[in-house]
Structures are given as structure tokens and as C-alpha cells.
Amino acid sequence: MQSMTPIPRDPAPSRLRYRLQRWMLTPGIRHGMRIGIPLALIVAGVAGYLADQGRRDGLVQFVADLRASIEERPEFMVELMAIDGAGPTLAQEIRDAVPLEFPASSFDLDLEAIRATIAGLDPVQSVRLRIRPGGVLQVDVTERVPVIVWRTRAGVSLLDATGAHIYAIPNRTERADLPLIAGEGADGAVDEALALIAAAKPLKARLRGLVRIGERRWDVVLDRDQRILLPPDRPVGALERVIALSEAQDMLERDVAVVDLRLANRPTLRMTSDAVQEWWRIREINGSGQ
């Protein structure tokens, strides 16, 4: 009887198995098997745990308690607010505008909102906030410096060199040390007003103030109801010419009511009513004597 020799098995994988092995070796599948499946199991476990409402409420309460325990630690608590760079009036105005209750957690303080509120106050030019060690909310303020008094129909206010409103005052005598401007739109030309006031120094105490006319030009008001009507263009130069002429010929010491320089090529003088009457009286006398 002839023995049958077994046919050796082909060691090569089948085509389907070969393709499956190649697919399993791709980077995406390898990462998915190593990371994706464990992550999916974790997510499924968490979802199953949180499916119960009581467990969800307990977890939320745990997170809230944990957060509160961190935020309310002594090193994160703010005990007081310190204000530097502001006078007593402005300091009180800041405290009224930002009514914080201390102690407060630094996590509950919106520093940007507080800074914006303080920066919105008229007397404040700039402000910087920080929390100092020791639980102190430090407020460093640069206060606007009043340089001029502005009178309008609404009242009397103090302005800084940029024309920004600082605060209202009861009357002009409250700051008699500062020069006076008046008229609508005068706050928009404070720099020009200050230049005119500097040029008018030779007039000394005779200067009463400046009046903005039509929001485009200035009148210089002196004592004895004298006025210098300046042009809208190059008013400082025009005022300097009037002062130089007055110093040479005492023009402003005479019975002149108005010096009108609005037309550069035709300056005019307007005499006071008493001077005009005197002129007519002299003319009549001279006429009757002929």
C-alpha cells in the first residue's frame, strides 16, 4: 500500500488576511487602537456615572465647594482699597463710583470694569489698578489739573489744558487764580486761549477774560468795558500788534471801546459813548465860533 505524503501548508497569508494586517499597521488605526478605544471606554464610564441626576448634582456641588475653598483662601482675599494721586474730593468720588464690599475674593473683582468706571470720571486723566500683597486693591490715579475757568449758560466749570471738563464750581470766585473764558465751544480751543492769555501778560490786571464768538474766534475783554475783536486766523499775532501799538501810543488807555481786528486790512476803533458826545460837543462849539 502506497503511503500518502501530506501536502505542506502554504505559509503565506491569504489575501484578505494580508490586507487586514496592512490596515492594522496604518498610523491612524494604530493610534485609534492605542488611544481611541481607552478614551471611548472612559467616556462611556463617565457618561454612565453621570446618567444619575443625584450624582450630577453631587459633582456640581463638589466643584463649587472646591472652587470656593480656593478663592476664599486668605492669600486671595482683598481687604481694602488704597487710592493714591487723588485729592480728598476725587477719592470719595471714586469710592462712591466703585462701592466694593470688603473682604472680597480677588477672583470676584473685575479689575478692567473697575478701571473703566474710574477712568470715566471727569477729574481722572488716567488710572492703574493692581492687587498688592496683603490684600490691598491699589488704585493709582493721575488727576486732571485745572488751568482755566469756563463759563457758559449752564454754569461755571474747570477745564484742563486739553479742554477736558474736570468739575463744576459754584461761581467764578471759587478759582479766581485761573483765567476765564466764556462762550459755546470755548472748551474746544483751550490751547489757543492759553496762548492768547500768555500774549496778554503786558495788560496785567486789565484782562478780564476771553469770549468765544460763533465757535470760531475770540474777543479779549478788558476792564472799562473795552474789547479787542480778534480775527479767526492768527489771533495771537493780532493781539500782540495791538499791545505793541498801545504801549507806543497808549491807545488802550484812551476812550476806546472796541478795537476791531476782524478784517486784517481794515482795523477800526470804536470810541466810547462819552468820547463821541464830547467830540460832537467840541465840534458844535468850533462850528458856532466860526
pLDDT of residue 29 exceeding 80, the answer is: no
CA distances from 206 to 19, 156, 191, 231, 269 (A): 106, 21, 21, 21, 19
- Cross-strand bridge partners of residue 142: 126
What sign for the dihedral angle of Cα 79, 85, 87, 92?
A: negative
User: pLDDT tens, 87-135?
Assistant: 999 999 999 999 888 888 887 889 999 999 999 999 999 999 999 888 8
pLDDT in tens, 31-49: 766 777 777 778 777 777 6
The whole-chain average pLDDT of the chain stands at: 82
For 13, the 3-state DSSP assignment is: coil
pLDDT at 264 over 90: no
In the chain, CATH 3.10.20.310 sits at 74-143
pLDDT digits (tens, 9 = 90+) for 199-238: 999 988 899 999 999 999 999 999 988 999 999 999 999 9
What's the Cα-to-Cα distance from 29 to each of 16, 35, 59, rounded to whole Å? 17, 10, 35
Distance CA 199, CA 189 (A): 16
Residue 181 pairs in a beta bridge with 150, 210
Stated pTM of the model: 0.67
Fold of 74-143: Ubiquitin-like (UB roll) (3.10.20)
What pLDDT score was predicted for residue 1?
A: 45
| CB burial string 178-200: b at 16+ within 10 A, e below | bbbbbbeebbebbebbbebbebb
- Inform me whether the pLDDT recorded for 188 exceeds 70: yes
The ranges of the chain annotated as CATH 3.40.50.11690 are 148-283
What are the residues whose beta carbons fall under 8 Å from the beta carbon of 128, sequence distance 6 or more? 115, 139, 140
Confidence of residue 245 (pLDDT cuts 50, 70, 90): confident
CATH 3.40.50.11690 fits 148-283, yes or no: yes
**C-alpha to C-alpha distances, 191 to 161, 209, 229, 237, nearest whole angstrom:** 7, 15, 18, 15
What are 176's three cell numbers? 479766581
> pLDDT over 70 for what percent of the chain?
77
Q: Which band of pLDDT confidence, cut at 50, 70 and 90, is reported for residue 257?
A: confident
pLDDT in tens, 142-184: 999 999 999 999 999 999 999 999 999 999 999 999 999 999 9
- In DSSP terms, 90 is beta-bridged to none
**Beta-carbon neighbour count of residue 96 at 10 Å?**
9
Distance of CA 58 to the CA centre of its chain: 47
pLDDT tens-place string over residues 64-95: 665 655 555 565 688 899 999 999 999 999 99
Q: What is the DSSP letter of 19?
A: H
Would you state the cell numbers that stand for residue 94, as one nine-digit string? 471714586
**pLDDT score of 279 more than 50:** no
